[in-house]
């Protein structure tokens, strides 16, 4: 209950694009929440795979569901539009590709009963269908043992914000379309807000299906960071690490023994990738996939950082 004894009303805002394979699972999860939302608003970015037809059929039998089409819009624009069409006090976000637990909204809204709560960070749990995805998850998500040791920044996979704070924030930056939620979280922090971590407000998240899709994700996140003016601390270390490696490779052309040093460094780096993440996988295939994902994601992030920097200079 809110301060005046009235129930806190909530809206769930979701953006979708070509989600034919999993939209029904998402809709069912939202429809049967323990705490039913007053509104569910879904904005379709111009799907061409039948997603819109599925939404239309569901909306016909579910009065709380409002659906809109914004062809060629980015997620920032679509989310801002969705919120503008809502009236509820608490705005909850989740994403296509996520499946909220039945008590997700209840646990996400509950902290707002505490005076002074403006933003709630829910949690997202990776669900893997194969060993590659098991190995990929630690590179994409904050794992449970690490989440409780740091302030957990909200992501639109599982996030709540009250209407007053939303209005003050101005919403998502419409010029950002890769990792707009990360930039939005940083903006909320600059506003002086603290994030309440509701680790029981859980959505299941399906990771990318293969290495090519995963590299595209890492690349676009890196581009988005730079476009948003965000330089994560590990990016500097990553660049230094690979610049040193490149320097040693050039030296090795003249001094052959340095090839041995490079090989040892590669082994050590591969071992580090395995050691830090094997406990989350616990499968022999991790001995192959963890180093592969480490090296390839490093290169995708470096390339994305370069492209992001160039786009800020020339666009």
Q: How far is the C-alpha of 33 from the C-alpha of 48, rounded, in Å?
A: 29
Give the C-alpha separation, 77 to 175, whole Å: 8
Among 175, 302, 150, smallest CA distance to 231 is for 302
**Quick one: average pLDDT of 179-187?**
93
Residue 315 — pLDDT band, cuts 50, 70, 90?
A: low
Q: Model pTM?
A: 0.90
Confidence of residue 147 (pLDDT cuts 50, 70, 90): confident
Q: Where are the chain's structural domains? A: 10-205, 211-314
Dist. CA 304–CA 315, nearest whole Å? 16
What beta strand segments (E) does 9-61 contain?
10-16, 39-44
List of residues 6+ apart from 282 with CB closer than 8 A:
none
The SS3 call for residue 88 is coil
147-155 average pLDDT score: 83
pLDDT 10s digits, 121-131: 999 999 999 99
Fold for the domain defined by 10-205: Spore Coat Polysaccharide Biosynthesis Protein SpsA; Chain A (3.90.550)
Choose between 151 and 111: higher pLDDT: 111
User: DSSP string covering 84-126, please?
Assistant: HT---SEEEE--TTEEE-TTHHHHHHGGGGSTT--EEEEEEEE
């Amino acid at each position: 209950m809110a301060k005046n004894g009235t129930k806190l009303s909530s809206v769930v805002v979701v953006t979708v694009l070509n989600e034919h394979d999993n939209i029904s699972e998402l809709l069912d999860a939202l429809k049967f929440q323990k705490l039913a939302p007053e509104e569910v608003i879904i904005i379709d970015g111009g799907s061409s795979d039948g997603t819109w037809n599925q939404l239309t059929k569901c909306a016909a039998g579910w009065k709380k569901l409002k659906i809109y089409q914004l062809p060629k819009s980015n997620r920032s624009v679509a989310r801002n539009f969705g919120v503008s069409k809502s009236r509820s006090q608490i705005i909850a976000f989740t994403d296509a590709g996520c499946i909220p637990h039945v008590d997700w909204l209840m646990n996400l809204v509950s902290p707002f009963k505490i005076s002074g709560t403006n933003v709630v960070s829910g949690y997202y749990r990776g669900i893997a269908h194969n060993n590659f995805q098991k190995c990929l998850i630690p590179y994409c998500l904050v794992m449970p043992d690490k989440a409780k040791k740091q302030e957990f920044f909200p992501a639109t996979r599982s996030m709540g914000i009250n209407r007053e704070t939303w209005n003050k924030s101005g919403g998502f930056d419409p010029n950002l379309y890769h990792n707009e939620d990360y930039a939005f979280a940083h903006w909320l922090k600059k506003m002086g807000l603290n994030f309440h971590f509701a680790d029981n407000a859980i959505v299941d998240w399906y990771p990318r299906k293969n290495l090519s899709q995963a590299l595209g994700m890492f690349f676009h996140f890196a581009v988005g960071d730079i476009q948003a003016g965000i330089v994560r601390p590990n990016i500097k270390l990553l660049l230094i690490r690979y610049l040193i490696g490149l320097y040693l490779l050039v030296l090795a052309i003249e001094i052959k023994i340095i090839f041995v040093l490079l090989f040892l460094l590669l082994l050590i780096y591969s071992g580090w990738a395995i050691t830090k993440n094997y406990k989350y996988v616990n499968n022999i295939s991790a001995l192959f996939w963890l180093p592969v994902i480490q090296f390839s994601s490093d290169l995708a992030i470096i390339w994305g950082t370069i492209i992001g920097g160039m786009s800020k200079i020339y666009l």
